[in-house]
Structure 1
Amino acid sequence: MADTTIQKGVLKTWKDDRGFGFIQPDNGDKDIFVHISSLKGMARRPVRGDVMFYEVARDTGGKLKAVNARIDGVEYQEKTARPGKVWLWVLAAVLGLISAAVAAYFL
C-alpha cells in the first residue's frame, strides 16, 4: 500500500540503460529505489540531479520504492495513438497493390 503523502528528493543515481535509480529524500531518510515504470507520462527520461516528487510503497519483498513519481518542472506527455503492426502491414500491402496496378497500366 502506498503512502499517499507526496515526498520530495533529488535523483542521486540513474542507470538509464537499466531504467532505475535512487532518490535521496529531502527529509534525510535512506535513499529510495525508483523504476522508470513509476514515471509514466513524463516528457523525458530522468537524469541525475533532477528534483523528484513521489509516493512511497513497498515492493513484493517488503522494500521501499518510489511510485507515482514525477520530475519537477517536466511536463506530462500525452500518449498519441500509434498504428499497430497489423495496420502497417495492411498499409504496405495496399501501397504495393497500387504500385503494381499503376505499373501495369503504363506498360
Structure 2
Amino acid sequence: MQKAVRLAGRITEWDDAKGYGFVVPNGGGDRAFVHISGFPRGSRRPVQGDQVSYLPGRDERGRLQARQPKLAGRPAAPAREASNVPRTVIGLGALAAATALVLAGPAYLAIGLAYLVASAIAYLLYWADKSSAVRGGRRIAESTLHLASLLGGWPGALLAQQQFRHKTIKQPFQSVFWVTVVANLGMLAWLVYSGAAAGLPA
C-alpha cells in the first residue's frame, strides 16, 4: 500500500476567530480547508502566510482538506494558553450538586433534573460542533451553544470544552459564555430565595 505523501504549502486565508482557513500547495494547485484542531497540541496559532506541511484528504462531501497540518519555516512561538480555568473541576462539581438536589427529595428535584438534562444536551451540542469543524461540515450556531448554557447546561459545556479542546481560546465566545453562567446562577438564586423553586412540579 502506497504511503500518503505530505505536501508543502502556504496558508492563504486564515480566520483566527473561527479557527480555520485555507492552504494552497507550493507550486500551485487546489486550496484545501485547514482547521486549528488538526495542528499538533501545543503549537502556536497559525497566521496567514505561514508555511505548512500536510496530508491531502477529502471530507464526506468530497471537499479537499489539509489533514495533520504542521507549521514549517519559522520557529514555533510559545503556545497560546486557553485559560487557567479548571473547567473539569467546576463542571463536575456543578453536576455533583445537581445530582445531590435530585437525591435530596421532591423540593428541588425539578431543578436538579433540569441541570442534568441541559448539561447532557450542551455536551452533545459541543461534540457535534467539534466534529463538524474537523470534517468541515455545517456548524452549530454559537447562539445555540450559549442558549444551552443559559438554560442550565453550562456544567456539561465546561466538560465538553475541556475534553474536546473546543471554544477555549476564542475569547469573545468565552466572555459571552461566562455571562450566561452568571445569568443562570442569578436565575437559580432568585428561584431559591423567592421560594418559587419549591413550587416547581416534582
Q: Please state which band the TM-score falls in when normalised by the shorter chain.
A: 0.5 to 0.7
State the identity %.
33
Task: Give the 4+ runs in structure 1 shifted more than 2 A.
Answer: none
CA deviation after TM superposition for structure 1 residue 32, in Å:
1.2
1:85 and 2:89 matched: yes
Match of 1:10 in 2: 10
Question: What is the alpha-carbon distance in structure 2 between the residues aligned to residue 59 and residue 27 of structure 1?
Answer: 23
Match of 1:61 in 2: 61
Which structure is larger by alpha-carbon Rg, 1 or 2? 1
CA deviation after TM superposition for structure 1 residue 9, in Å:
0.6
Number of corresponding residues = 83
Question: What is the alpha-carbon distance in structure 1 between the residues aligned to residue 5 and residue 27 of structure 2?
Answer: 13
What are the superposed Cα offsets for residues 11-50 of structure 1, whole Å, 9 maximum, x if unpaired?
A: 1110011111011211311111111111132421100111
Higher relative contact order (CA 8 A, sep 6+): 1
Kindly indicate whether the alpha-carbon contact (under 8 Å) linking 1:42 and 1:74 is maintained by their aligned counterparts in 2.
no
Q: Which runs of 5+ in 2 are unaligned?
A: 80-84, 94-202
TM-score scaled by length of structure 1: 0.65
Question: What is the alpha-carbon distance in structure 2 between the residues aligned to residue 43 and residue 63 of structure 1?
Answer: 25
The 5 Å alignment of 1:1-107 reads 4-72=4-72, 73-74=75-76, 84-85=88-89
Alignment CA distance shift 1:26-1:15 (3 Å): same
**2:76 is matched by which residue type in structure 1?**
V
